[in-house]
Amino acid sequence: MRLSHSRSRPRLLARSHPIKSQGVIPVNTVLITGASSGIGKATALYFQQRGWRVIATMRSPEKCPDLAQLPHCQLLALDVTNLDSVQRAITTALDTGEPIDVLVNNAGYGLVGAFEAVTPEQIQRQFDTNVFGLMTVTRALLPHFRQRRQGVVVNISSVGGQMTFPLYSLYHATKWAVEGFSESLQYELQPWNIRVKIIEPGPIKTDFYQRSADVQRSPDYTRFENRILLNIERTSQNGAPPELVAQTIYRASTDRSWQLRYPADPLARSLLWLRKLIPDGLFTALIRRQLISHNQSSELTG
C-alpha cells in the first residue's frame, strides 16, 4: 500500500548556519528533553548557535545556569516520568505563541549490571524514563504538529537498539522498544508531513556510564561484571564527543528527507554494518572476545 503525503518543504527544514549576531530573531524552535548534560546539552548549544530558539527541558533547570544565560534559550522543568510535569511544560512552551518545529526525545539512562540483581522498581524506572516518558512527551506534542501539518520527532536510540552487549539487558530492551515504536509511528504520521527520526550513537564521552552503574551487585556475578565493566569503561573513554551526535541530530532535523535511521558516529556506522553483515553466532562470539578476555568465560563465572 502506498501512502500519500505532502511534498511541501516546511520552513523548519531550511538550513541555517551559525549566527553572527545575537540580535537575529530565531525562525525555528526545537524542544529537547534531558538537556542538562551530555548529548542533550550539546544539542541545545548546537541548535542555539545556528539561530534556533531552544526550549531546553530537564528535571532541575536551576542546575544549568549557563544555558539559561544564552539568547533565545528557554529552560523548563520537565520530568518525562510525570504526566502532569510533561503537560505543564508543553503548555508553557506553546503559550508563547511560537510554534515548535522539532522535538528531540533525549532523556534517558541505562542500568548496567546483571539482570538477576535488578529490583522490580529499577526495571519500572528504566522503562518509565526511556520508553514511556518518550511516548508521553511525543503524544503531548502530536496535536500541535498535526494542526500545523509539519514537524520532526527525533528519538535518541543507540547502536544498542539493534545489537546487544552483556550487562545491558534492560537498557537494550528499552532501546529496542524505541526503535520499534519509532519505525511504526512514522507510518502513522507521514500523512501529516511529520517526520520521525532515530539517532543511533555508539559509545559517547559523557558521564552516562557513571550515572548508569546503580544496580545492586550480586556476588555471584562479581568477577564477570568487573571484567566487562572495565572494558566498557575503556571503550567509553575512547568514545565520540557528544557534539558529534548533536551534529547528526541537527542534520536529521533539517535534511528534508524521510530517512529513518542515522548512525551518529564512525564506530556506530561500523558496528551497525557489521551486525547486518555477519550471522548472530559470529557476532556474539566477537562481542564475547572483545568484552571478555579470550578463554576466560568459564573462569569468570567461578
Catalytic residues: 157, 171, 175
Q: Do 199 and 245 touch, CB atoms closer than 8 A?
A: yes
Instruction: Give me the amino acid identity at 108.
Output: G
Region class of 193: left (phi > 0), else alpha (psi between -120 and 50), else beta: left
Question: Strand 29-32 vs strand 102-105: parallel, antiparallel, or unpaired?
Answer: parallel
